[in-house]
Amino acid sequence: MLIRRTLVRKSFFMMAVLILLVVGSANAQSDTKLATGGTVYVSIYSKIFSGPKAITVSLATLLSARNTDLTYPITIVTVDYYDCEGRLIRSLVKQPIEVRPLGSIYKYLDEKDAAGGPGANFIVKWRSKNPVNKPIIESIMSDTSGTLGISFHCPGREITEHGE
């Protein structure tokens, strides 16, 4: 009797996991919406603090913008770099950049560029003439100096500007 109950519980548990996976997969697919442009906030960290003495570790930053559409290009209109006080440091795109279907662009800040501080960010504006799959825009921070390598990423977050 005890063995049978254990088997029933395991079967119930496996069925619940399977249902959650199927439902989660369906929800992920239903969130796909086409768009003709947007504004994306991307966190970056030009330095982080480590250990009990809060030792500063400077990080290199790579901003990546990937066109996920199979058919149409997108245009990266602006990539603006802001410090942790919200002040514009500089624009990294002088003129709009067209990104072909499944193509990508990147912008790199080396570890010596600490102007943004630990709470810096990028604001990326993009557009398309046709409705497209939204691009993946994210940052990757890394430091490979010394004996310990540090690497992590921050996904972009779509925001709405006031007046849009």
User: Which among 103, 114, 104 has a CA at the least distance from the CA of 141?
Assistant: 114
- The fold adopted by the segment(s) 37-159 is Hypothetical Protein Tm1070; Chain: A (2.60.290)
pLDDT at 31: 61
pLDDT tens digit sequence for 58-107 = 889 999 999 999 999 999 999 999 999 999 999 999 999 999 999 999 99
- Rounded to whole angstroms, what are the CA distances from 12 to 3, 4, 8, 25, 74? 14, 12, 6, 20, 47
**Using an 8 Å Cβ cutoff, are 142 and 48 in contact?**
no
pTM: predicted TM-score of the whole model, two decimal places: 0.77
Parse the chain into domains and list their residue ranges. Answer: 37-159
**Using an 8 Å Cβ cutoff, are 64 and 140 in contact?**
yes
- Rounded to whole angstroms, what are the CA distances from 104 to 45, 69, 137? 22, 11, 10
Amino acid at residue number 118: P
**Using an 8 Å Cβ cutoff, are 97 and 39 in contact?**
no
Average pLDDT, the chain: 83
